[in-house]
Chains A and B, each alone.
Chain A
Amino acid sequence: MSYPEKYRYSKSHEWLLLEGNTATVGITDYAQGSLGDIVFVELPKIGQEIQAGSTFGSVESVKAVSDLYSPVTGTVSAINEALNDAPETINSAANDTWIIKLDVKSADEAGALLSAADYEKFVAEETGH
């Protein structure tokens, strides 16, 4: 499991990279590991407005469905359509595989997310290891 320092993390296991007012969102290495083989990603539409904490899609493995929650409020500016054909990329490279990009108005929400170290601690507590 690796959690890059440059990302911020949500307790619902998404990572976020804020560059200017563009937020790039993916799911964490821990999330892909607990889901198992990912076979389907449901993406939102470009232009859709999303509130922080609301669902913007889902990720499905053979066994399970998991909702995707947006760590911040914003408007979808891009979706990773390559995931329609190759959802398993998330398993092989969760940190390098973005799912959506959002235009955000304020950096405050991103600032409130967890650092890599805090996220790692959170996962350790949640799994009891």
Chain B
Amino acid sequence: MTDSTATLVPAALNRTALNAVHRNHKAKMVDFGGWDMPVQYRGLIEEHMAVRTGVGVFDVSHMGDIQLRGPNSLAAVQKLLMNDASKLQIGQAHYTAMLYPNGTFVDDLILHKLSENDYLLVINAGTREKDVQWVRQAIGSMRGVHVTNVSDYYTQIAIQGPKAAATLQKLTDVDLAPIKNYWFTWGKVCGLYSVLIARTGYTGEDGFEIYVPSDEPTSARVWAEVLAAGEEFGMMPCGLGARNTLRLESAMALYGHEISDSLNVFEANLGRYCKIGREPGGAADFIGRDALLEVQKNGGPTKRLVGLEMVERGIGRDGYPVFSLDGERIGEITSGSPAPFLKKNIALAYVPIAFIEVGTEVAVEIRGQRVKAQVVPTPFYKRPKVGSPVITAPLS
């Protein structure tokens, strides 16, 4: 195991422009949704803690990007997505989702308004092809909108943690302080002009995502410069393992776990991003709205996503069944793990409405044994509100 760069990757796996860099870091690599990605570098817990207390850097180039342009692009976005894009200003982004007509998820995503008639959708890696296909199918027949899959144009690097701004500030002439959470701008980063700099992330921490050209030399150079800039703050390269535990502590949904094509918006507890009443009586319905109105009319969802904390000793994990204390199987964990910062064993799970109240006790079956857990408020972790004007992240 002397030269990890020589390890052969099955041809079927996609690689980001930073793949060789990860292998040189001696990262442990995994197949994530068809992508050969680093799951950890030095250690998951260390990486997780670096993001909560200092700063970490992630290669998130596997995320997909779809651009919608043209005079009818707002109408297209409004048809496609459940949030209200008419409220976005240029330079602003928000969390939203694409739904099937039955109100379940095609994918969740971040929508950026680049300019009038120009929108960027940042989508999940594992759903890239499906999403692009869905977008073309759903709005392809609309006039005045042009759909481009720009996923391969960018190396997307996430710099996350309380020291993210201080780190990135060393590499750009843009004043980062005025950029509010879920806003973005363009500027010179590492000598590259017009880099998209967004104050977004998937860690529950302050941070930025930058979009640089995806050629390998440029990507590797930017990665190295980010690491060097963060060194004084104890920056660590972070893998998908830490990305998962960070998003779980912050109770952010992951496609295929908390959201999928068999779960609807209300079940997933994402109703606050669903502007079901926008433009009352108007024509600009989003796909899935009618089904969701029907769910509301019929008294709401019958099950819902909740946060669980293990009360007894044991770790509830993805797919483990959840029981009522009198022994009835009531649901299932969608994501469960030890929480490295909170030092508790936490999980997200679907349970019937009768069990969603905070404090409700349930049991998780861990390899044949029933272990007590309790419904707790989400997010499990909320970052301390210090520094610049308090802005609430859409997911906290």
Contacts and interface: CB of A to CB of B under 8 A. Distances in A.
Interface of A: 36-37, 39-40, 58, 60-63, 65, 127, 129
A129 B337 contact: no
B378 to A, nearest CB: 20
Interface of B: 1, 28, 39-40, 43-45, 241, 245, 313-315, 317, 337-338, 340, 367
Contacts of A65: 315, 317, 367
A63 B239 CA distance: 12
B45 A62 contact: yes
B120 to A, nearest CB: 32
Nearest to A37: B45
30 contacts: A36-B28, A36-B241, A37-B43, A37-B44, A37-B45, A37-B340, A39-B315, A40-B313, A40-B314, A40-B315, A40-B338, A58-B367, A60-B315, A60-B338, A61-B44, A62-B44, A62-B45, A62-B241, A62-B245, A62-B337, A62-B338, A62-B340, A63-B39, A63-B44, A63-B241, A65-B315, A65-B317, A65-B367, A127-B1, A129-B1
A127 B314 CA distance: 30
A36 B367 contact: no
Q: Which 6 A-B pairs have the closest CB atoms?
A: A129-B1, A37-B45, A39-B338, A62-B44, A62-B338, A37-B44
Which of A58, A61, A65 gathers the greatest number of chain B CB atoms within 10 Å? A61
A27 B4 CA distance: 25
Contacts of B39: 63
Contacts of B245: 62
Contacts, number: 35
Which of B43, B245, B315 gathers the greatest number of chain A CB atoms within 10 Å? B315
A39 B45 CA distance: 10
Contacts of B315: 39-40, 60, 65
A88 to B, nearest CB: 9
Nearest to A55: B367
Nearest to B4: A129
Contacts of B1: 127, 129
Nearest to B340: A62
A58 B368 CA distance: 13
B148 to A, nearest CB: 36
Given A36-B241, A58-B367, A65-B367, 9 more contacts: A37-B45, A37-B340, A40-B314, A60-B315, A61-B44, A62-B245, A62-B337, A62-B340, A129-B1
B338 A36 contact: no
A36 B338 CA distance: 13
Contact of B40 (A36, A40, A58, A127): A36
B8 to A, nearest CB: 9
Contacts of A61: 44
Nearest to A58: B367
B317 A36 contact: no
B9 to A, nearest CB: 12
Nearest to A63: B241
Contacts of B340: 37, 62
Contacts of B45: 37, 62
A127 B43 CA distance: 20
A61 to B, nearest CB: 8
A123 B317 CA distance: 28
A2 to B, nearest CB: 14
B27 to A, nearest CB: 12
Contacts of B43: 36-37
A129 to B, nearest CB: 4
Nearest to B6: A129
Contacts of B337: 62-63
Which of B245, B317, B338 gathers the greatest number of chain A CB atoms within 10 Å? B338
B167 to A, nearest CB: 25
Contacts of B313: 40
A112 B34 CA distance: 41
Nearest to A128: B7
A43 B151 CA distance: 48
A1 to B, nearest CB: 9
